[in-house]
Amino acid sequence: MAEAYAATTHQAPEAAAGPRSTSELRSARVTACLVAAVLVLVLGVAAILTTRMTGLVAALWGAGGVAVAGWLRGPRSTEFDAAYALFITVAFATANVLVGNSLTQTAMFTVANMLEVATAVFLARRVAPQGFDLSSLNGLARYLLAVPLVSPLPGALLAGAGLAAAGLGEFRHSVETWWFGHALGLAVVGTVGLSVTSERLQEWRRPRRLLEAAAILLGMAVVTAVAFLQSKFAIGFLITPMLLLAAVRLRLFGAASAILIVALGAIAGVMLETGPVVLGAFSMVETKLRVTQLYVLLGCVPILLVAALLDERDRLAAAAQAGQLRAEAASAAKSRLLANVSHEIKSPVAGVIGIGELWASGQLGPVSPTQAEMSEMLVRTARQVEALANDLLDVARAEAGRVAVTLRSVDLDGLAEDVRRAVAVRPESAGLRFVVEPAQDRLVALADSVRLSQVVTNLATNAVKYGRSGGVVIFRLSRPDAETARIEVIDRGPGISLEKQTELFEPFNRLGMEKSEIEGHGIGLALARRLAELQGGRIGFESRPGDGARFWVDLPAAQA
């Protein structure tokens, strides 16, 4: 039935109007209605004949579940609703006639059943206008609360009142039997019908998955038969583990199918008076039946929620994995773009720098003071662009894992002094004091001297830019523990606000300083952290607004 409905229920109007004609679609819908009606007829006759000893109301009614599932899977159109209701009405009436019910009983039961099915469809469409997603915990819970719990009540009351008025049954007994039996059918058979999807069918077509499903459901059938159809071996305790196995391995469709097997076996055991020993304490078949129905409803149906939760987890995991793959592809594309842009920028910038230096030196002719100033500004700006291109290239290489790192023993005292001298001679460092505070003992780290110098220079450059109001930049060396060597860069500037600290190492994020007079492109810290990680180290920081910032690089210590 699921495949029959696939042609009419899961296509956009544009797709439906494409290669398939209107007559073909109408024929497919009529076929789907006919298939559902035949299933309702067969299940109705089987339910009435096998459970009639408890009264005129069947104890397990799967026909309603099939009817509701088929209706909900169909398209929402007046034409389909009318045709489907007509087919199902004929099926219910025919089933009642075939089992020997009188015309009055046939009319009453048919109206009661159609009232139940129509109520279920109405409630389902009101609760979930876009359709139930039974593969989610919320969707399944909404279905179970809206359809099996409420929709059997109108039909149960009508049938109970009719049977009581005709003297053919006690009102309360008839209502209870109807509600329990039909609620079971809607909860289990309805879930089976609604949980069948094209994706699930494709998955089960694989021989290995099909064999696993067959083995689990066959094992469920064997355990159910031994538990409910004989009294010698008490193995009812295996029912719950088998249901959980079906939920874990086969998800919602498999769990619902397994519960259906349990329901059939349990009801059959009551009819044949071969149920578990626990039911032996009850003398009346009706009481045994009610206990069995309660067991299936309260003890087995909740397993469906476990299966839905696992289905939802699978979907979220698949979405997360797809998102990760897209993010990785985007990151790789971005890295390639950065590398290409950097290469394209470096060549013309080198030419600009060369021309600017020739112009400033007077080799291109006499230079006036204004021209000399302009040429120096040109060279300075071009070198800033060159530095940006180099940083972009390093970022691209670092993210792609193509940065060559050679680890050897590096004297951190000497490296700090070299960085201090290089930064101190820059024009923007004028008026600042640079201090190196060595460790008590000579400090040696296992690192790449060139890349580590680049990291510390980036930290010192930031300290000069953002902390120059403090008047001093400190390079402090220490050993936090026996296996770690640390170099710190400290400034006494305004510090970093708490709300900005979480964004500190994001590339191209200048924390709102892009509107200030401070130059920069916002990738220095991101690059420094990546380079530190490539050397087996890490970067950390501490900062309080108004009290400066302290950045440190921890690296594996080496023997001095």
Taking only the tens place, the pLDDT of each residue in 159-171 is 999 989 988 888 9
What is the rounded average pLDDT of the residues 387-405? 69
DSSP letter string, 413-469: HHHHHHHHHHHHTSGGGTT-EEEEE--SS--EEEE-HHHHHHHHHHHHHHHHHHHGG
Dihedral angle sign, alpha carbons of residues 77, 82, 85, 87: negative
The pLDDT value recorded for residue 61 is 83
Joined tokens for residue 467: 């902390």
Q: How confident is the model at residue 434 (pLDDT cuts 50, 70, 90)?
A: very high
The pLDDT value recorded for residue 334 is 67
What is the rounded average pLDDT of the residues 446-471? 87
Long-range contacts of the stretch 275-283 (C-beta < 8 A, 24+): 275/228, 275/231, 276/227, 276/228, 276/231, 276/234, 276/236, 277/231, 277/234, 278/236
The pLDDT value recorded for residue 399 is 65
Joined tokens for residue 526: 């991101």
The pLDDT value recorded for residue 127 is 81
The pLDDT value recorded for residue 54 is 61
Beta carbons within 10 angstroms of residue 15's beta carbon: 10
Asked if residue 184 has pLDDT above 80, the reply is yes
Q: How confident is the model at residue 277 (pLDDT cuts 50, 70, 90)?
A: very low
Asked if residue 26 has pLDDT above 70, the reply is yes
Asked if residue 400 has pLDDT above 70, the reply is no
Q: How confident is the model at residue 267 (pLDDT cuts 50, 70, 90)?
A: confident
The pLDDT value recorded for residue 355 is 83
- Token pair 């940006």 is found at 388
DSSP letter string, 14-63: HHHTSSS-HHHHHHHHHHHHHHHHHHHHHHHHHHHHHHGGG-SS-S--HH
The pLDDT value recorded for residue 508 is 56
What is the rounded average pLDDT of the residues 155-183? 89
Cα 86 to Cα 89: distance, rounded to the nearest angstrom: 5
The pLDDT value recorded for residue 167 is 87
Short-list 40, 213, 50, 55, CA closest to 116 = 40
Residue 255 or residue 146, greater confidence: 255
Asked if 188 and 143 count as a contact pair (C-beta separation under 8 A), the reply is no
Residue 501 or residue 13, greater confidence: 501
The pLDDT value recorded for residue 227 is 87
Q: Which pTM value belongs to this model?
A: 0.61
Cα 75 to Cα 28: distance, rounded to the nearest angstrom: 12
Instruction: For the chain, give the percent of residues with pLDDT over 90.
Output: 31
Instruction: For the chain, give the percent of residues with pLDDT over 70.
Output: 85
The pLDDT value recorded for residue 509 is 59
* CB burial readout 205-233, b (16+ within 10 A) else e: eeeeeeeebeebbeebbebbebbbeeeee
Asked if residue 73 has pLDDT above 80, the reply is yes
CB contact set of 242 (below 8 Å; sequence gap of 6+): 216, 219, 220, 223, 258
Short-list 63, 71, 66, 65, CA closest to 99 = 63
Helix and strand element counts for the chain (H, E): 20, 7
| HSE (side-chain half, CA atoms, 13 Å) at 488 | 19
Residue 108 or residue 56, greater confidence: 108
Asked if residue 15 has pLDDT above 60, the reply is no
| HSE (side-chain half, CA atoms, 13 Å) at 210 | 6
- Among 352-361, 403-412, 447-456, the minimum mean pLDDT is found in 352-361
Taking only the tens place, the pLDDT of each residue in 117-126 is 999 999 988 8
Average pLDDT along the chain: 82
CB contact set of 56 (below 8 Å; sequence gap of 6+): 101, 105, 163, 168, 169, 174
What is the rounded average pLDDT of the residues 464-473? 84
Cα 156 to Cα 109: distance, rounded to the nearest angstrom: 10
What is the rounded average pLDDT of the residues 535-539? 91
Asked if 413 and 442 count as a contact pair (C-beta separation under 8 A), the reply is yes
Asked if 93 and 44 count as a contact pair (C-beta separation under 8 A), the reply is no
The pLDDT value recorded for residue 429 is 87
The pLDDT value recorded for residue 401 is 65
